[in-house]
Amino acid sequence: MAKDLYLAGEWRQGRGPVAQSIFPADGTVNAEFSTASVDDVNEAIEQADLAWRSSAWCESLPHQRAQVLYKVADIITERAEALSQLQTRDNGKPHAETMALVMSAAATARYVAAACETMDGELTSQRAADFMTMSVYEPVGVVAAITPWNSPIASEVQKLAPALAGGNAVILKPAQETSLIALELARIFEEAGLPKGLLSVLPGSGSVVGDAIVNHPLVRKISFTGGTTTGRRLAHIAAERLITTSLELGGKSPTIVLADADLDLAVKGVVYGIFSSAGQACIAGSRLFVAEEIYQEFMDKLVAATKGLRIGHPEKPGMHLGSLINEKHLNSVDGYVQLAKSEGGTVVCGGERMVEGEHAQGCFYLPTIITGLNNTARVCQEEIFGPVLVVMPFADEAALLAEANDSIYGLAAGIWTENYRKAMQLARALEVGTVWINTYKKFSISTPFGGFKESGIGREKGRLGILSYMQQKSIYLGLNETPNTWCD
Ligand code: NAP
- Nearest residue (by CA) to ligand 1, atom 42, is 282
DSSP characters over 81-104: HHHHHHHHHHH---HHHHHHHHHH
Ligand 1, closest atom to CA 248? 41
Rounded to a whole number of angstroms, the distance between the first and last alpha carbons of the chain is: 70
CATH 3.40.605.10 maps onto the chain at 5-249+455-474
Q: Report the pLDDT value the prediction gives residue 481, as an integer from 0 to 100.
A: 86
CA distance 185 to 178: 12
C-beta pairs of 327-333 under 8 Å, 24+ apart in sequence: 327/363, 329/280, 329/363, 329/385, 329/386, 330/363, 330/365, 330/386, 332/384, 332/385, 332/386, 333/279, 333/365, 333/384, 333/385, 333/386, 333/387, 333/388
Q: Ligand 1 pocket by C-beta < 6 Å: which residues?
A: 146-151, 173, 175-176, 205-207, 210-211, 214, 225-227, 230, 233, 248-251, 282, 383, 385, 411, 451, 456
- Nearest residue (by CA) to ligand 1, atom 36, is 226
How many Cβ atoms from other residues are within 10 Å of residue 67's Cβ?
Answer: 16
Domain at 254-437, CATH class: alpha beta
* Residue-wise pLDDT tens digits, 229-258: 999 999 999 999 999 999 999 999 999 999
Give the strand pairing for 456-457 and 244-248.
antiparallel
CATH 3.40.309.10 maps onto the chain at 254-437
**309, HSE (Cβ side, Cα atoms, 13 Å):** 30
- Nearest residue (by CA) to ligand 1, atom 16, is 206
Q: Report the pLDDT value the prediction gives residue 121, as an integer from 0 to 100.
A: 87
Ligand 1, closest atom to CA 230? 3
CA distance 428 to 438: 15
- Nearest residue (by CA) to ligand 1, atom 40, is 248
DSSP characters over 434-451: EEEES--S---TTS-B--
- Residue 54's alpha-carbon distances to 41, 65, 243, 406, in angstroms, are 20, 15, 22, 50
**CB 390 within 8 Å of CB 377:** yes
- Would you report the helix, strand and coil content of the chain in percent, each value rounded to 5? 40, 20, 35
Please provide residue 46's backbone torsions phi and psi, each rounded to the nearest 5 degrees: -60, -45
CA distance 41 to 44: 5
Is 248 an active-site residue? yes
CA distance 171 to 231: 17
Q: Report the pLDDT value the prediction gives residue 3, as an integer from 0 to 100.
A: 67
Q: Which residues pair with 449 in a beta bridge?
A: 460
CA distance 97 to 276: 8
Q: Report the pLDDT value the prediction gives residue 129, as an integer from 0 to 100.
A: 73
**CB 254 within 8 Å of CB 278:** no
Q: How far is ligand 1, taken at its centre, from the CA of residue 388, in Å?
A: 20
Ligand 1, closest atom to CA 282? 34
- Out of 201, 209, 230, 434, mutate this one to test ligand 1's pocket (max ligand atoms within 8 Å of CB): namely 230
Q: Collapse the DSSP code of 244 into the 3-class scheme (helix H, G, I; strand E, B; otherwise coil) and give the result.
A: strand
Q: Report the pLDDT value the prediction gives residue 1, as an integer from 0 to 100.
A: 54
- Out of 282, 329, 407, mutate this one to test ligand 1's pocket (max ligand atoms within 8 Å of CB): namely 282
Give the strand pairing for 5-7 and 368-371.
unpaired
CATH numeric code, 5-249+455-474? 3.40.605.10
Catalytic residue among 43, 156, 177, 248: 248
- Nearest residue (by CA) to ligand 1, atom 48, is 175
Which candidate, 408, 385, 436, places its Cα nearest to that of 257? 436
Q: Report the pLDDT value the prediction gives residue 124, as an integer from 0 to 100.
A: 87
How many residues are listed for the chain in this entry?
488
Q: Report, as ranges of residue numbers, the positions in the chain whose pLDDT lies below 70.
A: 1-3, 126-128, 487-488
Q: Which residues pair with 460 in a beta bridge?
A: 449
Helices and strands counted in the chain (H then E): 15, 22
CA distance 480 to 458: 41
